Structure 1
Amino acid sequence: MPTASRSTVRDIRPKVLFQLIEAMHPESNPTFSVNIPSSAIGGATLLESAVLVSLARLTGAQSFFEFGTYMGATTLLLATNSPDSAHVTTVDLPPEAIDTAAADDAALVLQDDTANDNFLRREFAAKGGACIDRAPAAIQAKVTRLLQDTRTIDPVAQGLAGRFDFIFIDGGHDYDTIASDTAVALQLARPDAVIAWHDYRSAIHQDVTRFLDGYDAPAQLVHVQNTMIAFMLTGRFANLLPD
């Protein structure tokens, strides 16, 4: 259950990040590569993609960890828009652990959080990582795919503790899973890191908002307006944003 205290989530406009990117590249036009957004349910918008790439570039991220592979679109985004030396580790459920026989009412998939998550899991079992599979070999080589329930990850035992400077949480959207994934993310993170969540202020996955609004975060939580991206910057990145 949520803690009694309520965190203060700072709202910023997307242009706050874009202005910082422009300041980094005063002599050029900053660009990034992105696929046409998938028509499938559950993908990131173009604006959200720009926000994630901006955060990665502002921090010079090289080691990425993603909770929730799904179609692999965000995996592909991060692998494509990072240095050749960068690497993305992405995790999702083993397909054999997913109930593919059940089906939810189509209307509920866009209204109910449980029905939506069940739909996304079935889609992953059927087509998981398709965007990665279609990527050039050089991009695929930058990706490690794990098949594991994120709630069973042991960062120390699996040699993952303290290895990542960019972590994106977009797996299961129920309160307990968000809380567990966040706790694991803190163990995965280097001292200087970005931890970002998807579906903050989502009309469907309201547990993400409930968790973050009650989370006693170790750093300032920030929400990017007109997106469902919330993030925090730790260590030397904590003062990256202007006051």
Structure 2
Amino acid sequence: MGKLGKLWKAFTSIVRQPSLLNLIIDTNQNWYKYVEKRYGLGAGLPVAELSTLFPDFRANIPTFAFLDGGSLPTDIALLMKLAQRIPDCSYFEIGTWRGESVVNVANIAKECYTLNLPDEEMRKAGQPENFIELIGFFSKDKKNITHLKGNSFDFDFVGLNKKFDLIFIDGDHHYEAVKNDTKKIFESLVHDKSVVVWHDYARSPEVVRFEVFAGILDGMLPQRHRYLYHVGNTLSAIYYPSEALAKHPLINPTKPNHYFELDLKLNPIVKKE
């Protein structure tokens, strides 16, 4: 098929199904160009290693499902180690899914809050009941976790009348949602020493997800950008204002300078009567 034929086929396909245009607009390459042009950060955030944040890094993760849509073990370990560093840590999370992140943090933090879409809103969006039932699967019975329902675009964050020490943003990963969540968090929930972590800043520890990155950058004041890092061996970006961290550029492929030791144990889910 010639170029004109391909162009006509693309045009007629978009006319029949306009949503296909989003696939063109939202490509990682287009978002890369946006970030590079606006911020000069086409190489991604500088990388701060886990060993820089935690020289004695070691973590035990009691609950991990190894299922689709979850975090890497290192992402959850990062949250746990950060919470461990903060006395009486107060934790807030947007986007809980099965509750793996928050249930592990709740073993350390004094109090945890999560925000997820109301069930009815998920039904209207076409989510099946078995998906909705899994929201908070691991976390819903934990006493120091408060599960809030609402859409972050119109949720009253100010009404919480609280600031949080550690905040995890892991909701909708489209640009407008990431920008909204970031903006609302910094406007309402952050204090001077708050640490903010964004999940899925990267598709893998070596590949930046530029749509998410663009939402992070556009959602916060430019003077805060100097406190942003990509945490090595994770999918996470971090806002860490307490101190300047040693850093290096992201290199893909990366030559390992350390490795992790895993000790896995399989535990059955015990059904409650």
**Please, what TM-score do these two structures have when normalized by structure 2?**
0.65
Partner Cα separation in structure 2 for residue 72 and residue 97 of structure 1: 19
Match of 2:243 in 1: 238
Matches within 5 A, 1:1-243: 4-6=38-40, 9-19=45-55, 21=56, 31-35=59-63, 37-60=64-87, 62-82=89-109, 86-99=110-123, 102=126, 124-133=131-140, 140-156=142-158, 158-161=159-162, 163-186=163-186, 187-202=188-203, 206-212=210-216, 216=222, 218=224, 219-234=226-241, 237-239=242-244, 241-242=245-246
In 2, the alpha carbon distance for the partners of 1:55 and 1:132 equals 19
- Taking the aligned partners of 1:168 and 1:94, their CA distance within structure 2 comes to 19
Q: Which residue identity lines up with residue 45 of structure 1 in the other structure? A: L
Q: 1:131 Cα deviation (Å)? A: 0.3
Query: Is the CA contact 1:9–1:222 (under 8 Å) kept in the aligned structure 2?
Result: yes
Shift of 1:73: 0.9
Question: Which one-letter code corresponds to 1:160 in the other structure?
Answer: N
Identity between Structure 1 and Structure 2 (%): 25
Q: 1:189 to 1:39 in 2, by over 3 A?
A: same
Deviation at 1:207, TM superposition (A): 1.7
SS at structure 2 position matched to 1:48: helix
| C-alpha distance after superposition, 1:2-61 (max 9, x if no partner) | 672245722022222230x56xxxxxxx654421x2132111121111111122223446
Any unmatched runs of 5+ in structure 1?
23-29, 103-117
Is the Cα–Cα contact under 8 Å of residues 91 and 148 in structure 1 kept in the other structure? Answer: yes
CA distance in structure 1 between the aligned counterparts of 2:87 and 2:49, rounded to whole angstroms: 21
Letter in 1 for 2:98: M
In the alignment, the residues of structure 2 paired with residue 97 and residue 153 of structure 1 have an alpha-carbon distance, to the nearest angstrom, of 13
C-alpha distance in 2, partners of 1:174/1:217? Answer: 23
Distance in 2, Cα, partners of 1:123 & 1:205: 29
Deviations 1:96-137 (A, max 9, x none): 1113784xxxxxxxxxxxxxxx7xx8765132111014x5xx
TM-score of the pair, normalised by structure 1: 0.73
Give me the whole-angstrom Cα distance separating, in 1, the residues matched to 2:246 and 2:88: 20
Contact 1:61–1:165, Cα closer than 8 Å, also in 2: no
Question: For residues 246 and 234 of structure 2, what CA distance do their matches in structure 1 show?
Answer: 20
Greater Cα offset, 123-132 or 66-75 = 123-132
User: What are structure 2's unaligned runs of at least 5 residues?
Assistant: 1-30, 248-273
Distance 1:201 1:42 in 2: 14
Distance 1:54-1:183 versus aligned 2 partners, 3 A rule = same
C-alpha contact (below 8 Å) 1:70/1:123 kept by paired residues: no
Q: Could you give the per-residue CA deviations for residues 55-114 of structure 1, whole angstroms, max 9, x where no partner exists?
A: 2223446111000011111110110123xxx10000000011113784xxxxxxxxxxxx
Counterpart amino acid of 1:182? T
